[in-house]
C-alpha cells in the first residue's frame, strides 16, 4: 500500500538556521514520483519539486535542496539559511506509475515556523 | 504564467444544501483533479477526470459527489446534499498528462463551511 509519512508535525527555527524536513514513503511500484508542495498561511499549494524513482541525484535550487535515498525510502527537504517567508506547511507527496491517473498521496505535512 | 483558478474562494452553506465548486484548469492541461483538506489535516485525493469521464475516485467520493466539465474551460465539483463533515478546503488541480506523472498545479482552493 502506498503511504507517505512526515513524522515531524511542527518545527520551529530561528531565521538563518538550516532546517531539514523529513519524508518517508512506502510503495510497491518500482516506478514512482515524489513531490514537495508548500502551503503558506494564505492556503494555496505551491509546487516545489518533482523527482522520479530512477533519478537519485540530489537537487539544489537556491536555498532549497532535496536528498532522495531509495535505500531508506526517503526524500528529505533542506532549507538553508531559513527566512521568515519560509514559514508554511510543507507536504511531501507520492504518485505511483501504476496509478494511471497520477493521483497524489500526501503526507500529513510539517509546519515550519521561522522566527526572526 | 498560467494558473488554475477556483471560485468562489469561500462558501457557507446549510446542511443538506447543494453546492457547486468551480475550477478553470490551465488551458492546455488534460487531466483534472479534486482534492480536499479538512482543517489542520493532510490533503486527500477525491477524484481524477480525463477525456470527459472519471478515471479514478476515492472512497470519500461517494454518490453525493459528482464532477463535470460542462464546457471547454470549466471543471466543477458538485456536492448534492452537504453534511457537516464536508466542511473543508477543496482544491482543484490540473496536469498536462500522467504518462510521466506530470506535475499537478493546484488552484487557490475553495473553503467550504457547512452549518
| Cross-strand partners of A40 | none
Q: Is B111 on the interface with A (CB under 8 A)?
A: yes
Determine which of A29, A98, A103, A106 to mutate to test the interface with B (most B C-beta atoms within 10 Å): A103
| Contact yes or no for B42/A91 (Cβ under 8 A) | yes
- The residue behind cell 466539465 is B69
Q: What is the pLDDT of residues B22-52, one digit of tens each?
A: 999 998 898 999 999 999 899 999 999 988 8
Cα–Cα distance for residue pair B7/A45, rounded to 1 Å: 16
For B12, residues 6+ apart whose C-beta sits below 8 A from its C-beta are B113, B115
**pLDDT level of residue B100 (50, 70, 90 thresholds):** low
Q: Is A27 helix (H, G, I), strand (E, B) or coil?
A: coil
Residues of B in Cβ contact (< 8 Å) with A54: none
CA distance A15 to B2: 32
Q: What is the largest CA-CA distance in chain A?
A: 44
Determine the residue among B8, B44, B97, B101 to mutate to test chain A binding: the one whose Cβ has the most chain A Cβ atoms within 10 Å: B101
Q: Once rounded to an integer, what is the mean pLDDT over residues B62-87? A: 94
Amino acid at each position: 500500500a502506498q503511504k507517505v509519512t512526515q513524522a515531524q508535525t511542527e518545527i520551529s527555527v530561528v531565521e538563518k538556521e538550516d532546517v531539514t524536513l523529513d519524508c518517508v514513503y512506502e510503495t510497491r511500484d518500482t516506478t514512482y514520483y515524489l513531490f514537495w508542495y508548500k502551503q503558506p498561511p494564505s492556503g494555496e499549494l505551491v509546487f516545489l519539486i518533482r523527482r522520479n524513482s530512477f533519478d537519485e541525484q540530489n537537487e539544489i535550487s537556491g536555498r532549497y535542496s532535496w536528498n532522495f535515498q531509495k535505500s531508506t525510502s526517503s526524500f528529505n527537504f533542506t532549507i538553508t539559511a531559513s527566512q521568515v517567508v519560509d514559514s508554511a506547511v510543507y507536504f511531501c507527496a507520492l504518485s505511483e506509475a501504476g496509478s494511471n491517473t497520477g493521483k497524489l498521496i500526501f503526507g500529513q505535512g510539517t509546519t515550519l515556523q521561522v522566527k526572526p | 504564467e498560467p494558473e488554475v483558478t477556483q471560485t468562489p474562494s469561500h462558501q457557507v452553506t446549510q446542511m443538506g444544501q447543494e453546492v457547486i465548486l468551480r475550477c478553470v484548469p490551465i488551458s492546455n492541461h488534460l487531466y483534472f483533479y479534486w482534492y480536499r483538506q479538512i482543517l489542520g489535516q493532510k490533503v486527500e485525493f477525491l477524484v481524477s477526470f480525463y477525456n470527459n469521464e472519471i478515471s479514478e475516485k476515492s472512497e470519500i467520493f461517494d454518490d453525493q459527489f459528482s464532477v463535470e466539465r460542462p464546457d471547454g474551460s470549466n471543471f466543477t465539483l458538485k456536492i448534492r446534499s452537504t453534511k457537516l463533515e464536508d466542511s473543508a478546503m477543496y482544491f482543484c488541480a490540473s496536469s498536462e498528462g500522467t504518462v510521466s506523472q506530470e506535475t499537478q498545479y493546484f488552484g487557490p482552493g475553495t473553503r467550504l463551511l457547512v452549518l
